[in-house]
Amino acid sequence: MTFSFPYAGRAGMHAAAALAVTLGIAAAGNAAAQTKLKFTLDWAFQGPTSAFLLAEQKGYYKAEGIDITVDAGQGSASALQRVATGAYEMGYADINALIEYNVKNPDSQVKAVMMGYDAGPFGVYALKKSGIKTPKDLEGKKLGAPVFDASFKLFPAFAAKVGIDRSKITNINLTPQLREPSLKNGSVDFISGHYFSSMLDLEKIGVPQSDVVYFLYADYGMDFYGNAVIAAPKFLKEHPDAVKGVVKATIKAWKEIAANPEVGVKAAKTRDGLIDEALELKRLKMSLERNVLTKWVKANGFGGVDMARLQRASNDVASAVGLPRAPKADELFDDSFLPPKSERMMP
């Protein structure tokens, strides 16, 4: 059977075909334009880091031209190492960890581009039955911690601040999974960690918060920032738009979570089906209240820093660990990748 088409019909078909080819090329171009990057968290998939997971799952990174892979971490210092060595292009780590690294590696300085925890969650924790009542009581005791833990890395600065003789403390290296159980079973006398991690992880294994004595560094005059988004120097230089895209997409997700924490827990549950949703919601709300939604953030917007405050922290850490100099604040943080303040105001 033979079909015949009017000329206009054939022209329309040719035009449609040409349009399809054009759209196909454009789609392929958009796919090719996606910048691939690996992003490391500082810890497991939990409520406080769920903004990165939410942004990935809802396509916020993709909308910014980013093909991202978000992986769990083993501690802030480990996350810094991953980024510094180029194994990961970006990550989430304690900004204070950059102080020592950047002094020792002046030609390959890692920079923070967005602050997550305006108030640091650092501290050490003991059981009341140990008889530890003051920081000075930690002398002669065993400190259990993962070597990459941010609170452990900052313990020298805390010790210097409160007058603890660190030579009288024995450090016991623990995996993250053994930290809280080791305190419970008495194999160590105290542990270090983020407040919302250690307090709730102890509660999870049957240690009520009323049985725990804790010393939060912030309560002893250590006005330190906490975790920030960091980027490798090579990636910052070669892909500044991608860095801006990561920051923009992450802030969008964080604002959603601040308004409705449950969406963050669901995002974390998607990546780790074994998490306790009720516990993670409690952990997330604790971090939002204590570390993220501070008075300064509410007034100045999420993601930025007070450079004078950051400089004071740099001075304190450098002095405590015996560095030859304290890095300038602008060696640690670059605010040029942040969206305007109006886009960073939290609900």
Per-residue pLDDT of the chain (347 residues; tens, 9 = 90+): 443 444 444 444 444 444 444 444 444 444 458 999 999 999 999 999 999 999 999 999 999 999 999 999 988 889 999 999 999 999 999 999 999 999 999 999 999 999 999 999 999 999 999 999 999 999 999 999 999 899 999 999 999 999 999 999 999 999 989 999 999 999 999 999 999 999 999 999 999 999 999 999 999 989 999 999 999 999 999 999 999 999 999 999 999 999 999 999 999 999 999 999 999 999 999 999 999 999 999 999 999 999 999 999 999 999 988 999 999 999 999 999 999 999 999 98
Cα→Cα distances 232→39, 84, 89, 212, 295, Å: 11, 6, 6, 38, 30
Give alpha helix (H) positions in 85-209: 97-104, 150-153, 155-162, 179-185, 195-204
Question: What is the token pair recorded at 134?
Answer: 């003051």
Give the closest residue to 314 by CA, choosing from 152, 77, 95, 84. 95
| Amino acid 5: pLDDT | 40
| Amino acid 179: pLDDT | 97
Residue 106, classed as helix, strand or coil, is coil
Using the Cα atoms of residue 13, residue 16, residue 20 and residue 22 in order, give the sign of their dihedral.
positive
The domains located in the chain, with CATH, are 33-117+224-343 (3.40.190.10), 122-220 (3.40.190.10)
User: pTM for this one?
Assistant: 0.86
